[in-house]
Every structure is written in structure tokens, then in C-alpha cells.
Chain A
């Protein structure tokens, strides 16, 4: 507990400027208020998690940032520009992978570039590179049904990286992946955030996952949906991926978040 308070006290004001700003966004589905007057800043080059109980509107918020849904009011600004539709500055990783079952791994990874009209040889060269980066070399000709869940999501991740967007949106990317693969993914995410100078927005319902991978955690609470707090872990980021789960601050933050979320779990 004291550790967490400590962390809040020491929390530095955002020196990194925001890559994505969400301002006063509201969204209703009929009579249901999914989001109400929600504002949130996403610092450039960092990973921000949206965490909350189901029905808190975290996926809705992500889809609004992606441009797949339109907010009823409010605006989303990305790199200084107000957006209203999907753009080349963002790419998306889907919970259910959203791969084309009739296309090989190579074509799936290159699909974003194909839609942008990149020539075949060029886009395949780029795709090869990212297939190698996610560790799927040798599976270029395979079809999605021949891959395990973890490998399928690696294809989804490679596809999102291949278009070289500044902002990566991940919608519960590891929830359909088995536990061991998920851990590997979480470790890889840390390296990815360090290695690529991109902004990551990560929706998850796993508290441990959020604390493990995030630079900033936004806790969303439902009815009406709002950002209840923003947590920025400080002490364990630099300590190496093996040590994170043993850090007292990690454990305190996990407990803290659970304490504030438990009332909202039916």
C-alpha cells in the first residue's frame, strides 16, 4: 500500500508529449451509455493499458481511436490531427486475430500493405522481415488453420507492425492465447515497446498483464464509464523482465487495482 502511495507521490508529470489525445468523448448504444465525457492522454513511445471490468467501454474507446466507431460527441486527436476514420497512422491487433483463412501467412502479414497499393515484391520483402521478427520464419506458406493460437496472434502482430503505423491498438490481443504463450508475448511486448518508437494502446481485462507490460494504466469504471485513476509504475521498469513479478511495487499495484475493481465484478 505504502509503495503505491509512494508511486503516486513520485509520479512525474508527463514530460513526454501525447501521441494520442481523447477529449470529452461520449458514445451511446441506444439507451446504454458506453462512454461519458471521457478524456485521456496517451504519451508518445509508451504503452498505455485500458483496464476495467467488462462493460466499462474499453473496447469501444479503442475502436473510436481506431476510427472504426464514431463518437457521439468529443474528439480524438492523433499527432495533432483530429481523426474521424481509420488512417495510416494507426494499426490494429484483434482479439480473435482476424486473419484471412484463405491466405497464407505471408499474404496475411502483407495484407495491410496490399491494401495500401504497395507492389507485390516490395510488400513481401517487408512482410518477410516482420515474420522473422515475430519468430515465424519457415511458416510463410502455411495457412492460419495450420498454426496454433499463439502463432496466429504473432501473424496478427506482424501484420500490424508491417504497415509501420505510429500508434498500435491492441484489443485484448492475448486473451485467446494459452497461458505459456501469453507470458512469452508479454515479455516480447516489453522489448517491442523499447525497440520500436511507437505508441501502444492495449486493452486487457487481466490486472497482472496490465501492470506487467504498461508504462501507464488507465482504470476505467462502468456506469457511467469514466477514467477512475491513472497509475504509472516507476520502480520496476528497468529491472529486467524476470524481476518484474517479484517487485513489491508490482504486487502492490496489482492488489490496489483489484481492491478498486472487485466491487464492479458481478
Chain B
């Protein structure tokens, strides 16, 4: 068995062990043990309620993340390539990133109602700024010498963007995507807690109200697992697309 897998397993055992012990102490009446939570997760899996919940939660999440990734990278490229766009867009996203989202939700609800639109907005507000700002700074920091190299070998502006700037920026764009998407997961749950309780947010709210803490923690646990799996998938995609990039720059 390889070493890194062993270490991952070991770290999981330590974390879950600590959780189990903390639950047994107990730290708080509202803090279930690891096994109780896993049992609750098992029950929800077998009666199918967790899948119905995710069918609901994934809607704003997937739409919001897709919009944020597409527009975030596009706008980020623009902002990074042109000073005028930086002027125009950068302040918006800096404000979006710093804004206390929970306080803005009532405004969104007044403007867009309590349906899917508002929830997608929440996901986008969480996910997009970091994607835009990372992409822009990555594009702006493309090493000057490889752009000069492109120019001296007769690259068109389009070649320079597609064959040099984007691949060179990809590690930072992907790290922006990772941060943005994890923020999007938070946004999706936040919107279900703050706007209307549906999906996983409903399980969390409902089980808390009836003091079924194992189910509540099982739902939270499941969303974390999903986020981790998704981020791993993203990392694999990145390594597949830009194989030589994962050891950094030659001149480093």
C-alpha cells in the first residue's frame, strides 16, 4: 500500500476518532458521536431521503457554480488583459467578496423572491469573486519572457492568449476555482438555511428543530464529503490538462 494513501487513512482515523471521543465525553448534548452520525447517514441513504434532498440542493449549486466558473474565468481574463476592464470590474468583485452575505440575503429575496433565482445568486456571490480575482491576477502575472518568446516566434494575439497566457495562468485559475467552488457549496447551504429550507438545508433545519442531532451532523458531513470529492475531481482534471504544470515554473 502506498504511503500517501496510508497517511490519508491515518489522518481520517485520527479526526473521526477525536469526533467519536468528543461525542462520548460528551462535549455538548447537541454533539453526537461519529458512529451515531454515520448510522443516521446510513438510514437516510437507505430510505432515499438524502438523495431527494440533494436533487433539490444540487440545482442552485450546479447552476451557480457553472455560471460562476464560466463568467468568472471570462471576466477574469478580460480584467487581467485590459486595464480598462480592471477599472470597471475589479471594485465590484472586491466589494462582493467583502460583503456580509447573510445581511444581503433579505434584499435578494425582496428582489428575486424565495425561489431558485435568489439561491443561485447566493451561490454566485460566494463563488464568483475569488474566481474572477484569481484569474485576473494570474493573467496579469504571466511571465513576461514567455510572452516575449511568443511574440518573437510570431504568435498572433489570439495565440498568445490561448497558447501562453491561459495555460500559464491555469494553476492559479484552478486554485481560484477550488476556492470558489468550496465557497459555492457554503453558499448553497446558506441559501437553504436563510431563504427557504429545502434539500440538505431542510434536513439540517428540521433535525435541529426536533433535536435529532445525528441526522443534522450526517447532513453536514455528507455535504463536506461531496465538496471534497468534487475538489479532487477538479484537481485530477487540472493534472490531466496541464501535466507539466504541476511542478511549477522552470525558472523557479
Residues of A within 8 A of B (CB): 63, 66-68, 86-88, 90-92, 94-104, 111-112, 114-116, 143-145, 152, 159, 163, 169
B152 part of interface (Cβ distance < 8 Å) = yes
A-side interface mostly: loop
Q: Across the interface, do B167 and A100 meet the contact criterion of CB distance under 8 Å?
A: yes
B92 part of interface (Cβ distance < 8 Å) = no
A99–B244 Cα gap in the complex (Å)?
11
A169–B152 Cα gap in the complex (Å)?
10
Q: Across the interface, do B248 and A94 meet the contact criterion of CB distance under 8 Å?
A: no
Contact of A145 among B149, B164, B248 (CB under 8 A): B248
B145 part of interface (Cβ distance < 8 Å) = yes
Binds A, one of B106-114, B153-161, B179-187: B153-161
Q: Across the interface, do B243 and A102 meet the contact criterion of CB distance under 8 Å?
A: yes
Residue of B nearest to A146 (CB): B247
Q: Across the interface, do A96 and B152 meet the contact criterion of CB distance under 8 Å?
A: no
B146 part of interface (Cβ distance < 8 Å) = yes
A152–B163 Cα gap in the complex (Å)?
20
Q: Which residues of chain B have C-beta atoms less than 8 A from A94's C-beta?
A: 145, 148-149
A255–B150 Cα gap in the complex (Å)?
39
Q: Across the interface, do A101 and B249 meet the contact criterion of CB distance under 8 Å?
A: yes
Q: Across the interface, do A98 and B244 meet the contact criterion of CB distance under 8 Å?
A: no
Q: Across the interface, do A111 and B152 meet the contact criterion of CB distance under 8 Å?
A: no
B251 part of interface (Cβ distance < 8 Å) = yes
Q: Across the interface, do B245 and A115 meet the contact criterion of CB distance under 8 Å?
A: no
Contact of A98 among B149, B155, B156 (CB under 8 A): B149
Given contacts A94-B149, A152-B250, 6 further A-B contacts (CB under 8 A): A91-B153, A99-B146, A112-B153, A116-B153, A143-B247, A159-B153
Q: Across the interface, do A98 and B145 meet the contact criterion of CB distance under 8 Å?
A: yes
B84 part of interface (Cβ distance < 8 Å) = no
Q: From residue A220, how far is it (CB to closest CB) to chain B in Å? A: 21
Q: Across the interface, do B251 and A91 meet the contact criterion of CB distance under 8 Å?
A: no
- Per CB-CB distance, the 3 closest pairs between chain A and chain B, nearest first, are A143-B244, A98-B149, A112-B153
**Size class of the contact patch on chain B:** 20 to 34
A103–B168 Cα gap in the complex (Å)?
11
Q: Which residues of chain B have C-beta atoms less than 8 A from A63's C-beta?
A: 148
Q: From residue B35, how far is it (CB to closest CB) to chain A in Å? A: 45
Q: From residue B49, how far is it (CB to closest CB) to chain A in Å? A: 45
Residue of B nearest to A90 (CB): B152
Residue of B nearest to A96 (CB): B251
Q: Across the interface, do B150 and A66 meet the contact criterion of CB distance under 8 Å?
A: no
Q: Across the interface, do A144 and B151 meet the contact criterion of CB distance under 8 Å?
A: no
Q: Across the interface, do B244 and A103 meet the contact criterion of CB distance under 8 Å?
A: yes
B-side interface mostly: helix
Q: Which residues of chain B have C-beta atoms less than 8 A from A145's C-beta?
A: 244, 247-248, 250
Q: Across the interface, do B250 and A101 meet the contact criterion of CB distance under 8 Å?
A: yes
B16 part of interface (Cβ distance < 8 Å) = no
Residues of B within 8 A of A (CB): 143, 145-146, 148-156, 159, 163-164, 167-168, 170, 242-245, 247-251
Q: Which residues of chain A have C-beta atoms less than 8 A from B248's C-beta?
A: 101, 145
Residue of A nearest to B155 (CB): A115
Contact of B250 among A67, A91, A97, A169 (CB under 8 A): A97
Contact of A91 among B152, B159, B164, B249 (CB under 8 A): B152
Q: Across the interface, do A68 and B151 meet the contact criterion of CB distance under 8 Å?
A: yes
A159–B163 Cα gap in the complex (Å)?
16
Q: From residue A103, how far is it (CB to closest CB) to chain B in Å? A: 6
Contact of A144 among B148, B156, B164, B250 (CB under 8 A): B250
Residue of B nearest to A162 (CB): B153
A26–B144 Cα gap in the complex (Å)?
23
Q: Across the interface, do A68 and B244 meet the contact criterion of CB distance under 8 Å?
A: no
Q: Across the interface, do B242 and A102 meet the contact criterion of CB distance under 8 Å?
A: yes
Most chain A beta-carbon contacts within 10 A, residue among B148, B164, B242, B243: B148
Q: Across the interface, do A116 and B154 meet the contact criterion of CB distance under 8 Å?
A: yes
Q: From residue B243, how far is it (CB to closest CB) to chain A in Å? A: 7
What are 22 A-B interface contacts by the 8 Å CB criterion? A66-B152, A67-B152, A91-B152, A91-B153, A92-B149, A94-B145, A96-B145, A99-B146, A100-B146, A101-B247, A102-B168, A102-B170, A111-B153, A112-B153, A114-B163, A115-B150, A115-B154, A115-B155, A115-B156, A143-B243, A143-B244, A145-B247
Q: From residue B245, how far is it (CB to closest CB) to chain A in Å? A: 4
Residue of B nearest to A169 (CB): B152
Q: Across the interface, do A115 and B159 meet the contact criterion of CB distance under 8 Å?
A: yes
Most chain B beta-carbon contacts within 10 A, residue among A87, A102, A111, A116: A102
Q: Which residues of chain B have C-beta atoms less than 8 A from A112's C-beta?
A: 153-154
A116–B159 Cα gap in the complex (Å)?
10
A192–B164 Cα gap in the complex (Å)?
29
Q: Across the interface, do A97 and B154 meet the contact criterion of CB distance under 8 Å?
A: no
